Amino acid sequence: MNIRPTSFDHPDAVKLNDAVQLEYAKRYADEDEDGEGDLTPLDATMFAPPRGLYLLAYDSSDTPVASGGWRTQDENGEGYSDGDAELKRMYVTPGARGLGLARRILALLESDARTAGRTRMVLETGTAQPEAIALYTSSGYEPCPKFGYYRAYDSSLCYAKPL
């Protein structure tokens, strides 16, 4: 597998983002009646170094199979704190699951955020994503006060890890 920095608006990143949005819509169908997936506002500039990073993993045939990124957050009305790096769009295609790609991408993102001077990695996931919860808790993330776009949702779960 080859993991490399990519712009969030690169066609391969858009393809994986579309796939994860469909998965979110299926998993949260009861709450997401319109099937729109995650409505958190994101754009490519949010992941541009040094204030963020977006990674894609490619298999041996150069097909994108996993993604993840972090973006800078500081104290604001959505519950973030100064020094936060927010993890976004972690996704592994079904055929590439179980290969450790999410864990590898997570470690690279944490290292990059730390190098950029961020002091805490935060993320929001949900009750319908047990695989994500298992990854994050086994990687040292602990529950924290809710933040972000979905902070008022019962199914929202927020985690943090000092960098």
Is residue 34's pLDDT more than 60?
no
For strands 142-143 and 120-126, give the pairing: unpaired
pLDDT at 82: 95
Q: Which residues are CB-contacts of 19 (< 8 A; sequence separation ≥ 6)?
A: 91, 93
* Average pLDDT taken over every residue of the chain: 92
| 3-state SS class at 109 | helix
Of residues 1 and 62, the one with the higher pLDDT is 62
CB crowding 106-129: b at 16 or more within 10 Å, else e: bebbbebbeebebebbbbbbbebb
Please tell me the predicted confidence (pLDDT) of residue 31. 63
**pLDDT the model gives residue 24:** 86
Q: What is the pLDDT of residue 154?
A: 86
As a residue count, the chain comes to: 163
Which candidate, 61, 49, 32, 22, places its Cα nearest to that of 116? 49
Q: What is the pTM of this model?
A: 0.93
Domains of the chain (ranges plus CATH)? 2-162 (3.40.630.30)
